[in-house]
Structure 1
Amino acid sequence: MEVITTHLNADFDAMASMVAAKKLYPDALLVFPGSQEKNLRDFFVHTAGYLFDFTKLKGLDLSSISRLILVDTRQASRIGKFQEVALRPEVEVHIYDHHPRADDDIQGTVEVVRPVGATVTLLTHILRERGVPLTPEEATILIVGIFEDTGSFTFSSTTPEDFRAAAFLVECGADLNVVADLVTRELTSEQVALLHELLHSARTYNIQGVEVCIATVSVDRYVGDFAVLVHKLKDMENLDVVFALARMEDRIYLVARSRIPDVNVGEIAAYFGGGGHATAASATIRELTLIQAEDRLFDLLQSTIKPAVTARTLMSSPVITIEAHADLAHAEQLMVRYNINAMPVLENGRIVGLINRQVLEKAIYHGLQAEKVREYMNPEFATIGVEGRLVDIQKYLVEHQQRILPVMDGETLVGVITRRDLLNHLITDRSREPTALKDDLGAGPWGKQKNIVGVMAEQLPKNIITLLRSLGEHAENMGYKVYAVGGFIRDLLLRRPNLDIDVVVEGDGIHFARTFAEKAGIRARCHKKFNTAVLIFPDQLKVDVATARLEYYQYPAALPIVQFGSLKMDLYRRDFTINTLAVALNSKEFGTLIDFFGGQKDLKEKAIRVLHNLSFVEDPTRILRAIRFEQRFGFRVGKQTASLMRNAVKMGLIDRLGGQRLFHELQHIFMEEDPLPALRRLGEFGVMEALCPSACFDAKAEQLFIKIKEVILWYKLSFLDEPLEAWRVYFLGFLSRIKPSDLSNVLARLDLPHNARERIVWALQKVNDVLSEFLRLPGLRPSDIYRALQPFRPEELLFMMAKTNREEVKRAVSYYCHRYRYVKPDIGGRDLKAMGLPPGPLYTNILRAVRDAKLNGDVKTLEDELRLAQNLMAAAADQKKEELHAGHS
């Protein structure tokens, strides 16, 4: 069997080339390897589908293919399932392509590859040479491919051969009216809106003297002809280089155009699994978020536009090293002397490992200072050449978490790059400061920004604004920058009350907090380990102060390790885009809203999105947090973020979380005004099942939570004076739906203290006992109800009310809460002592009996209580006499 195919997301040139190849291989089947561009799909449905016999991939026996004809591509990564066919040694592969060579190119037995504007040009030339006739319909389809891939002969990749091929096709009867209809289509309203967003998100960067424009957009649905929009953007703004990234549904589309030889967009698109020419290229990105894709793109641009930053320019030299046969004590001395945290280990002049301060300190603490370095060095490490690219340096130091990166010139160690070297470069790199393409955007070095002083004045008390200005002035005097960040800013823009203030300092956060506290006459509590502090004011207002920092995780679900960084790096470590907003507090920029990651847009679109695709892998608690924010604000988790959440749950990352962290997030959900929607979503994402297979959230559980909400509201409206921790009622409701045989495992999994576990088990059991036995007894008096319910806390009583359907039971609990629990005898121990009763256990029995009588209405006055006490004392005395008499007998 012979098959003609092309690349995924096929365009007109790809389809036209398939049609042309069919003229050369008449017995071959035409098969798309996957999806096609929207315009091609529409055209195919209305036209091509009636003219040509295309075969669907589904059901095709790939093992029967003996010859594979590839058109408009030769990259293995771009032909889907046909990759395995092309790599089989017995399959004959014929290739017709106009793209430049890529790393994963397939080798063909026949190859026709030339740099022309469109692949169909090559095939048209062959058809003309061989005298193969074309119908007008065939010629029309072929010429559409040429017009599309040459931009109607305006792309710099257009060659004279493209013009000659088009002229021949016109001679064959190609209908240029069809071409005009397809190539010069009117934009839809969706496309106009997307083009508007492209214009207003576009920023230009000066990278090694080259002006590069990067535009990003985000929509929850697919919008066709994105490449056409990018081309229009390039023409409207006369851009030399433009990269556009569009998040549509759960993937990102990259389209790039370049007019200058300094930037080969095909090479960059290939890095993302796409392809194209030096002047026009595209890629579909599935494994990254929009923010990550933009960061990777920027790193690639810095690495590919010459002169690029290389390992030679970043490295420190000469290198402090240690011999493998040296002892650990000597290694520590070297590190202290030169104030370094890691160094290479040499043996016979060759690098054989790395040793770091943390390992040394632990080993010496255990008395191993005389041991040899080779025994404790890390022999697994990466190195980089002197011309190594910035993107690779970042990969080893950040993604692979290597402490230092040795730089090699051949076999010779010539330098090392530390994380601090990398961070210093990233912080001081001026090429990262964008300029807005449109003046009305107001973007500067902080990305999209605007001043929100008016919103602050409207939403915040005057004393808070005064405090924020004071923080900014103090930072100014110290030469620091300070910003209010996170949920405080998010809720400010959502017009929600929130005075939990977090500030980030670009400088020494602890020093900033201490000096501010000293000046303001308040307290500062500092945490050196995390470079954080808390400012505590007399009115109990607290302000959290953090040093701008970057977090990375040693393994999935680990606690973060903190490194110093800039504001952007600090915000990048946060959970969701809506929590990455910041406001400058320094005097000159006071009130300027800073948005590096599209947080404003996601607030407007009511979307919860993570910043990078490993977000839930690094910290699975974010799964619960995403659901909590989604329900609190009435937002929706984005499609890509939802997919990442489900994958993290399937990977079992919930199981790796520490119990206290998991319980903390569950507690926050139960503290929401209505936890029911969040719990329902936890069930949808499989989090409940991950916690415990029997923790299903069914209709009965939902009904219980509705009743819990009702009884909590009743309690609050009743103005009962005892404090209520409402989340505990929901927590009991949640645990009550778990099988008793699983309960102890769940409580242990949540790492609750032993006494807390015992109390929960007791409460669940006793509530069942009271509901099933005691309160069903006929003729219960108030004293009986009091004694039954007195051991329970308010939260347990409300859970009891929610769990029962019997009105008399609810009434009994209500009477207890409102009346019975406040009833106490008017008499006390002093009265009993005055009546001649010596102190002892009898006091408790008598006072309890008087309280019961008062509850039941048997005594009403102080005299009644005294009389009853005297009678009880007399009865007790008589009983004692009888016991003595019985003893003598």
Structure 2
Amino acid sequence: MDVIATHVNADFDCLGSMIAAKRLYPDAVLVFPGGQERGLRDFLLQSTLYAYGVKGVRDIDLQQISRLILVDVRSSARIGRLAEIVDKPGLEIHIYDHHPADEKTITGQFELIEEVGATTTILAHQFMQRGIAPTADEATMMMLGLYEDTGHLLFASTTPRDYQAAAFLLENGANLNTVADFLVREMSPEQIDLLNELLKSCKRKLINGVEVAIAYASIDYYVGDISSLVHKLKDIENLNVLIVAVRMEDRVFLVGRSQIPEVHVGELFQRFGGGGHAYASSATVKDIPLVQLLDLLEEELQKTVQSGYEARQLMSAPVKTLPISATIEDARELMTRFNFNAIPVLNAQHLVGIITRQVVEKAAHHKLQKMPVTEVMTTDFDTADPQTQLAELQRGIIDHNQRCIPVVEHGELVGIVTRTDLLRHLLGDRQKLAERLPVESGRGGARLKRKNLARLIDAQLPKFIRALLRQLGEVADTLDMKIYLVGGFVRDLLLRQENLDIDVVVEGDGIAFAEAFAKTAECRIRSHQKFGTAVIVLPDGFKIDVASARIEYYESPAALPQVEHSSIRHDLYRRDFTINTLTISLNEESYGQLLDFFGGQRDLKEKQIRVLHNLSLIEDPTRLFRAVRFEQRLGFRIGRQTERLMRGAVRMKLVKKVGGARIRNELRQILDEPQVISALRRLEQFDLLKFIDPHLHFDRTTAQMIVSAEKTSSWFDLLYTGEKYHRWLLYLFCLLNFLSDKGLQRVSAWLDLAPKYRDLLLQLPPARKALKRAYYRAGSGNAPKNSDIYHWFNGLSLEIVLFVMAGSDNEQVRKWVSQYVTDFRKVKVLLDGNGLIELGLKPGPHFHQVFLTLLNARLNGEIRTLEDERQLVREKFVAVKK
């Protein structure tokens, strides 16, 4: 006899999986080895499940079972009396499950175990692979299980395969109204009372540096579906970890939920005879008073919760230091340059003190700038080694009132943990080890949830990119370097936008890393020693930009930055906007983990462009243009504070100090954007175009011309000529069209255009003249010959010709330009110099006139063949000569 069974206290995922398994094993008997949750019991009362002949474990002879099919369970501790036969000789066991293994895991002859949100998902994919179509009732019951175990596809455990399974079930008639009726229920009065008791008792405790919430209640009546109350409580209180204990009569029901890897509630509840996942688990405990059980819970949490946080994971490195010979003035300058609040003082390589900004500023106030820092530095302070636990760091900073904890290894200063590092960790920004994304709840105090982006990487990126990222991490591991994906690649990954421009930063020597990578793959390296950067070029031309983590400071506003090696956090701090500071670890130990030091995810959520600090635009005014570019490209909005800072930087006229070449690069990128008109309009609103030229403005006429240029370039693209042209130049011509000839020369010089682009820009005046000739001819009614049209535009670049077409509002003129582009400019004379000599002409300057005559005749349709050309030469030139 074949039996399909699940775990005791069955839920909808058990039911959906059993119904699906019945299609794979049609002769099997469905058996519930225990009770069912309240929601499932209500469904069973109202459904037609009796048609499946579902039995209880007491209704069958266990010894007659020859094959046991277990769904949504693989632990002998959770299958009731069926555990008595799992070791029976000759019994064949098949297992379909998504739960992790435990100490009592059963081994089957056939196992299909996947880390998905629901076991129903596994079986739905089996249907897809085998071409099995469920009935509408089967699809509905499977959807109930899928939706319940994935929290309506919203739990962090949900995978792309769960969504695929849901789509499959919906296509096969799953009734979402039925799903909603049984999964979205109003709370009973008893449940409301119990939730109120849990809210009152809920307390947050810091266990091994991790915040865990515990709520409890004691009632004398039974209340079902506690798990739904746990979810409501977790959402109301915005909790990462919640343990609920409810005493009902002679037993205590435990339910746990966790969204962070430090707390594995499945392992925790195994110690109380329960089971489940790392993120969701339950247990039932008998004969232990609630108060005693709560004490046991805390003891087990102390053993189970692995903070995973040591000084080496929280510290910043390398550390900026001062020698003992440094003065207050030196300390003040260093703190201002790098925005530090405390700096270690070294005697040679030996740590002897810490000097704080508060002390430095007071000393400076008293005119003591030349005093040595040794006179006022702190010499009584705690230090840590790289393995120091979070609790000890916390005592040093909070209890001992230190601004920072130096991290020392073998007598050498290797890092520093600051108050900010600790505060960010304690408030939830624990991303160096954690796997989380933020819940953007406003700018004041967003708490962060763990999220690892490995699955997103696998789902979003091509296979060869995923392989490259893994390889980069492996090479970094061999060099004991930390490596991170940075920049627009990370931002666009989170926005689900395609971007395959890989930029990585290593904490260490970027060039040495690139050279090490080259030993593992066929590629070549281009390095730049001055900046510690390298480019890895693969055989197919694909490039990976590698940089050393560095810190920058500016000697003066708009100056080029001075660069020094630093940590990833300092490297990110030098970037332009918060949305570009997101980074993903590629090392094997932490692959896919997202680091967000500056609220970049929050700003992605709020669709805001914000600078990192208030001097950002003063230090690098090119960011004024970049802010507009990102705003328009992403459909975001420049934040209110950033907009105020932008207008202040414009009033200070700092752009002029930058130099035209850097502004040209920013302008070119803006003109290459799809939303070029809105971007130029924003530049006009911020009064930024005046820095390109005082007479330059973006008005309605210019906007209309660019719209026309967009249509013209699209028209040309559809010709599929294969010719390349610079669309940004076409838009630049439209923008600068109303400048005088001298104005064009002035802009060309200030932007420091390359000679080839400068020559094209200076073709604007003759292009205007050609357009005037065309307008005159169109107005006179005297149609030009084809050769006239050819000579109007011959010699002008393709960009200029397209600009002329875009700049004309006369249909006849536009037709003439289009004829030149599509036909006339391609016309060639077939005869060459040798052919003319064969016809009796002597070489000389007059050959130019001969070829011009032939070309005009061809353009005007007067000749068509090579023989026609020879005959024309004989008539007009050879005969005349004779």
TM-score relative to the length of structure 2 = 0.53
Contact 2:579 2:600 in 1 (8 A): yes
Other-structure match for 1:455: 456
Give the superposition deviation at 1:205: 13
C-alpha spacing 1:473/1:813, structure 2 compared with 1 (3 Å)? same
2:863 to 849, 852, 859: 859
Other-structure match for 1:730: 731
Counterparts of 1:57-136 in structure 2, within 5 Å, are none
Equivalent residue letter for 1:795: E
Counterparts of 1:618-637 in structure 2, within 5 Å, are 618-637=619-638
Q: Give the Cα–Cα distance (whole angstroms) in 1 for the partners of residues 460 and 329 of structure 2.
A: 60
Equivalent residue letter for 1:855: L
Other-structure match for 2:765: 765
Give the superposition deviation at 1:736: 1.2
Q: Give the Cα–Cα distance (whole angstroms) in 2 for the partners of residues 634 and 352 of structure 1.
A: 46
Counterparts of 1:635-674 in structure 2, within 5 Å, are 635-674=636-675
Other-structure match for 2:839: 835
SS at structure 2 position matched to 1:773: helix
Whether 2:429 is the aligned partner of 1:429: answer no
1:88-129 alpha-carbon deviations (Å, 9 max, x no partner): xxxxxxxxxxxxxxxxxxxxxxxxxxxxxxxxxxxxxxxxxx
Give the superposition deviation at 1:852: 1.4
C-alpha spacing 1:395/1:832, structure 2 compared with 1 (3 Å)? farther
Give the superposition deviation at 1:661: 0.3
Counterparts of 1:186-225 in structure 2, within 5 Å, are none
1:786 to 774, 785, 790: 790
Q: Give the Cα–Cα distance (whole angstroms) in 2 for the partners of residues 601 and 562 of structure 1.
A: 29
Counterparts of 1:239-258 in structure 2, within 5 Å, are none
Q: Give the Cα–Cα distance (whole angstroms) in 2 for the partners of residues 500 and 707 of structure 1.
A: 31
2:851 to 847, 852, 858: 847
Other-structure match for 2:684: 683
Equivalent residue letter for 2:495: L
Q: Give the Cα–Cα distance (whole angstroms) in 2 for the partners of residues 545 and 566 of structure 1.
A: 15
Give the superposition deviation at 1:694: 1.9
Q: Give the Cα–Cα distance (whole angstroms) in 2 for the partners of residues 738 and 846 of structure 1.
A: 40
Contact 2:689 2:697 in 1 (8 A): yes
Other-structure match for 2:718: 717
Whether 2:445 is the aligned partner of 1:479: answer no
Q: Give the Cα–Cα distance (whole angstroms) in 2 for the partners of residues 444 and 826 of structure 1.
A: 72
Other-structure match for 1:465: 466
Q: What stretches of structure 1 of length at least 5 have no aligned partner?
A: 1-195, 212-231, 238-308, 320-342, 345-350, 357-381, 397-402, 412-420, 879-889
1:303-324 alpha-carbon deviations (Å, 9 max, x no partner): xxxxxx9xxx9966665xxxxx
Other-structure match for 2:830: 826
Give the superposition deviation at 1:812: 0.7
Other-structure match for 1:809: 813
Q: Give the Cα–Cα distance (whole angstroms) in 2 for the partners of residues 562 and 859 of structure 1.
A: 68
Q: Give the Cα–Cα distance (whole angstroms) in 2 for the partners of residues 815 and 236 of structure 1.
A: 68
Other-structure match for 2:357: 391
Contact 2:770 2:792 in 1 (8 A): yes
Contact 1:580 1:597 in 2 (8 A): yes
1:516-554 alpha-carbon deviations (Å, 9 max, x no partner): 113313111111110100001111111100001111111
Other-structure match for 2:534: 533
Equivalent residue letter for 2:870: L
C-alpha spacing 1:442/1:659, structure 2 compared with 1 (3 Å)? closer
Give the superposition deviation at 1:796: 0.3
Equivalent residue letter for 1:573: R
Other-structure match for 1:87: none
Q: Give the Cα–Cα distance (whole angstroms) in 1 for the partners of residues 329 and 356 of structure 2.
A: 24
SS at structure 2 position matched to 1:502: strand
Give the superposition deviation at 1:426: 8.9
Give the superposition deviation at 1:740: 4.7
Q: Give the Cα–Cα distance (whole angstroms) in 2 for the partners of residues 234 and 650 of structure 1.
A: 44
Give the superposition deviation at 1:446: 9.2
Q: Give the Cα–Cα distance (whole angstroms) in 2 for the partners of residues 507 and 463 of structure 1.
A: 26
Q: Give the Cα–Cα distance (whole angstroms) in 2 for the partners of residues 662 and 814 of structure 1.
A: 34
Counterparts of 1:507-526 in structure 2, within 5 Å, are 507-526=508-527
Counterparts of 1:164-183 in structure 2, within 5 Å, are none
Equivalent residue letter for 1:391: R
Q: What stretches of structure 2 of length at least 5 have no aligned partner?
A: 1-198, 212-235, 242-314, 334-341, 346-351, 363-368, 378-405, 438-449
Counterparts of 1:284-683 in structure 2, within 5 Å, are 319=325, 389-391=355-357, 406-409=372-375, 427-429=415-417, 432-433=421-422, 444=433, 450-683=451-684
Other-structure match for 1:323: none
C-alpha spacing 1:876/1:672, structure 2 compared with 1 (3 Å)? farther
Give the superposition deviation at 1:788: 1.4
Q: Give the Cα–Cα distance (whole angstroms) in 2 for the partners of residues 756 and 439 of structure 1.
A: 52
Contact 2:487 2:581 in 1 (8 A): yes
Give the superposition deviation at 1:810: 0.5
Other-structure match for 1:870: 874
C-alpha spacing 1:474/1:798, structure 2 compared with 1 (3 Å)? same
Equivalent residue letter for 1:786: Y
Contact 1:384 1:407 in 2 (8 A): no
C-alpha spacing 1:748/1:783, structure 2 compared with 1 (3 Å)? same
TM-score relative to the length of structure 1 = 0.53
Equivalent residue letter for 2:356: L
1:27-70 alpha-carbon deviations (Å, 9 max, x no partner): xxxxxxxxxxxxxxxxxxxxxxxxxxxxxxxxxxxxxxxxxxxx
Q: Give the Cα–Cα distance (whole angstroms) in 2 for the partners of residues 866 and 234 of structure 1.
A: 89
C-alpha spacing 1:632/1:846, structure 2 compared with 1 (3 Å)? same
Q: How many residue pairs were aligned?
A: 518
SS at structure 1 position matched to 2:711: helix
Equivalent residue letter for 2:702: A
Q: Give the Cα–Cα distance (whole angstroms) in 2 for the partners of residues 394 and 445 of structure 1.
A: 36
Give the superposition deviation at 1:843: 3.0
Q: Give the Cα–Cα distance (whole angstroms) in 2 for the partners of residues 392 and 530 of structure 1.
A: 34
Percent sequence identity over matched residues? 41
Q: Give the Cα–Cα distance (whole angstroms) in 1 for the partners of residues 761 and 665 of structure 2.
A: 17
Give the superposition deviation at 1:390: 2.9
Q: Give the Cα–Cα distance (whole angstroms) in 2 for the partners of residues 704 and 743 of structure 1.
A: 18
SS at structure 1 position matched to 2:846: helix
SS at structure 1 position matched to 2:551: strand
Q: Give the Cα–Cα distance (whole angstroms) in 2 for the partners of residues 576 and 779 of structure 1.
A: 57
Equivalent residue letter for 1:607: Q
Contact 2:436 2:451 in 1 (8 A): no
Other-structure match for 1:79: none
Q: Give the Cα–Cα distance (whole angstroms) in 1 for the partners of residues 600 and 330 of structure 2.
A: 43
SS at structure 2 position matched to 1:719: coil
Q: Give the Cα–Cα distance (whole angstroms) in 2 for the partners of residues 510 and 844 of structure 1.
A: 57
Equivalent residue letter for 1:773: R
Q: Give the Cα–Cα distance (whole angstroms) in 2 for the partners of residues 844 and 719 of structure 1.
A: 32
Equivalent residue letter for 2:678: P
Q: Give the Cα–Cα distance (whole angstroms) in 2 for the partners of residues 636 and 506 of structure 1.
A: 33
SS at structure 1 position matched to 2:809: coil
C-alpha spacing 1:430/1:656, structure 2 compared with 1 (3 Å)? closer
Q: Give the Cα–Cα distance (whole angstroms) in 1 for the partners of residues 357 and 816 of structure 2.
A: 70
Other-structure match for 1:54: none
Contact 2:523 2:537 in 1 (8 A): yes
Q: Give the Cα–Cα distance (whole angstroms) in 2 for the partners of residues 315 and 826 of structure 1.
A: 77
SS at structure 2 position matched to 1:673: coil
For the aligned residue pairs, the C-alpha RMSD in angstroms reads: 4.4
Contact 1:436 1:444 in 2 (8 A): no
Q: Give the Cα–Cα distance (whole angstroms) in 1 for the partners of residues 689 and 786 of structure 2.
A: 41
Equivalent residue letter for 2:869: E
Q: Give the Cα–Cα distance (whole angstroms) in 2 for the partners of residues 814 and 389 of structure 1.
A: 73
SS at structure 2 position matched to 1:534: strand
SS at structure 2 position matched to 1:525: strand
